[in-house]
Structure formats: C-alpha cells, structure tokens
Amino acid sequence: MNTMKRGKSITQVDWNLCVIADTKAAGGRYLPPLIEEAVEAGATMIQLRAKGMDTSDIFDLGCRIEETLRGHDIPLIINDRVDIALICGAQGVHLGQQDLPLKPARALLGKKRIIGISVSTVEEARAAESGGADYLGVGPVYYTASKKDLPGVLGTEGLMAIKSEVKIPVLAVGGITAERVGEVRAAGADGVAVISAVWGADDVTAAVRALLAASKHR
C-alpha cells in the first residue's frame, strides 16, 4: 500500500480550489492528464468522485491519480470509498450524508487523514465538526446541473449561517463559477469545490485560472 507516502499533514492544506474529478461530469474523458493540467494551473485539492463505476475502475483511477499528484504536494480526497482511499494512499475521503458515517470512517482512516463532510444545514455542520471532520463541503449554494435530488439551494446567506457556526474550513459547492467566487468568499467560504466550472469548460487551464483569479481579486 502507498499509505501516506507523501505524509501531508492537514494543517498544510490549501483549501482555495478543490477540483472534483467527477467521472460523469468529465463525460468519458480519461481524467489523470486533465487533473494534472488542473493542478499545474493551480488547483489546490483534488476529489475523485466516481459514483456508479465498477470498483476495479475506481481503484485504477484513484491509484493513477495519486501517482499523478505525487510530485505536486496536492491532497487527493476519495469520495465515499474509505477502502480505496487507504489502498491508493490518498490523503483522505469526502463523505456525503448517504455515505459511511464519520465515526467509523475515522476509526478506519486514523487521525492523520483528511475527512470532509457534505452538509446543507447548520445541524449537519455542527454534527460534522463535533464528530471530528476536517472540513465541510457546504451546498448547494446555487442551482447546479452536476447533482440531482439535492435539497434547496442555500444561497450566500445559508452559506454564511453555516460558516458562522463552525471553526473548520468551509468549501462552497454547487453551481460555483468564476463570477460567483467573489461573493462566496465574501460570505466566509475558505475555498470552493467545483465540477461543472472545470469539466464543462473547453479549456481546463483557463477555467482553473479564472477561478483562482476571482479568488485573489475579490
């Protein structure tokens, strides 16, 4: 196992821009070179989200992306699959409310790895923080085509309400575009997590740079 080969500690993580490598949103494109492109353009975190794929394919993709990121000092977070995160030597997992509960996931992963939790209410945010989550994905802040069956959008007010209740880093997610980065950062987000803003763009490098520029010039 490649567990913790890079040994990145949580305090070093740059939460600014998490690119979610969503295999459906990427529409069949082979992700590792595109992720490398996103990282070279400045993405600060990568989350692999491969719902519905065969486990052997998620495993292959996760380990290949981990290799790609190894030279970049960028954390790889695996959605839902704690076993694949451990096997591929990823830095952590991201868990939705329908994934594994935080407590047993932490017991398996240990304290050194990152666990992010998707929340859409103040109650979920408080529970995740008190349960030991390292960061929150808060959303959907805006309407988004990348995910279906989500609760109503939070808007920047809902984001602000959650941010004010927790001390751990908060990533705004759901319909985030370069144009909206300024207002979600102004609302307190420590960073953003994006799917469509990168995978729906013709040019990954340009998309990532636009998101980062918006974050710096808010």
What positions carry a catalytic annotation? 49, 118, 147
Nearest Cα to 177, choosing from 139, 132, 210, 133? 210
Nearest distance from residue 143's CB to its own copies, in Å?
A: 23
Q: Is 29 helix (H, G, I), strand (E, B) or coil?
A: coil
In angstroms, the CA 56 to CA 179 distance is 38
Residue closer to its own copies, measured from CB, 128 or 214: 128
What residues between 148 and 207 interact with its own copies by CB under 8 A? none
Which of 122, 118, 125 minimizes the C-alpha distance to 149? 118
CA distances from 60 to 43, 47, 53 (A): 22, 15, 11
User: How far, in Å, are 101, 129, 184, 213 from residue 49 at the CA level?
Assistant: 17, 22, 23, 25
The torsion region of residue 73 among left (phi > 0), alpha (psi -120 to 50) and beta comes to: left
Considering only 97, 121, 177, 205, the residue that binds its own copies (CB under 8 A) is 97
For its own copies, the binding residue among 4, 10, 100, 201 (CB under 8 A) is: 100
Please, what is the minimum distance in Å from the beta carbon of residue 23 to its own copies?
Answer: 15
User: Which range of residues in 12-20, 64-72, 102-110, 183-191 is near its own copies by CB under 8 A?
Assistant: 102-110
Size of site (CB under 8 A) for its own copies: 22
Amino acid found at 163: K
User: Under the criterion CB under 8 A, does residue 98 sit at the interface with its own copies?
Assistant: yes
Closest approach, Cβ 28 to its own copies, in A, equals 18
Per CB under 8 A, contacts with its own copies among 60-89 are 80-84, 86-87
Query: Which residues contact its own copies by CB under 8 A?
Result: 1, 54-57, 59, 80-84, 86-87, 97-101, 104-105, 107-108
